[in-house]
Homo-oligomer: A and B are copies of this chain.
């Protein structure tokens, strides 16, 4: 697998998910610790920069959530974001964590507002014009936005990989479901080390 035809997408590595006092940290903190998600992902992006295309995809809304729709259009998962005041532009909670702070070698993709990062961003355009064929996924939550973006990538004809030690769900059960039941329908589930060995 050629590194230059390969992208790694880091979804939702923001303080609101990853850090004490983050708006949604409580729900995912046990799995982050169990999986060592942050350390593994930091390791992954550092080794990948300059070889693969590395992209950071935060989910971000305006301060007043005017870009999340008129009342009641979106469902429970968005209602929770609004209620907890998570993922707002210009706030500490919305910012990408220091461990994965973007460098000039990364692309930060704007526009994500929903589960599938392709849905409202230029992610697909970036892949197309760089002739990307393989895409690996890291981030939060494994069975929500990570799986959703990987599904969309698969349907668009990309080879998809889940870096299982670089993501987290809100329970071990959900993490295991994605790793063993769903993702194998579409592609491969690997540790970041296993993935690294496939690249050349």
Contact = CB atoms under 8 A, between A and B. Distances in A.
Given A111-B122, A125-B120, A186 B76 contact: yes
A82 to B, nearest CB: 12
Interface string A132-153: 0000000000011000100110
For the side of the interface on A, what is the size category?
35 or more
Contacts of A111: 110-111, 121-122
A92 interface: no
Contact of A121 (B115, B116, B120, B143): B120
Nearest to A66: B107
B129 A73 contact: yes
Interface of A: 62, 64, 66-70, 73-77, 104, 107, 110-116, 119-122, 124-126, 128-131, 143-144, 148, 151-152, 154-157, 159-160, 173-174, 177, 181-182, 184-187
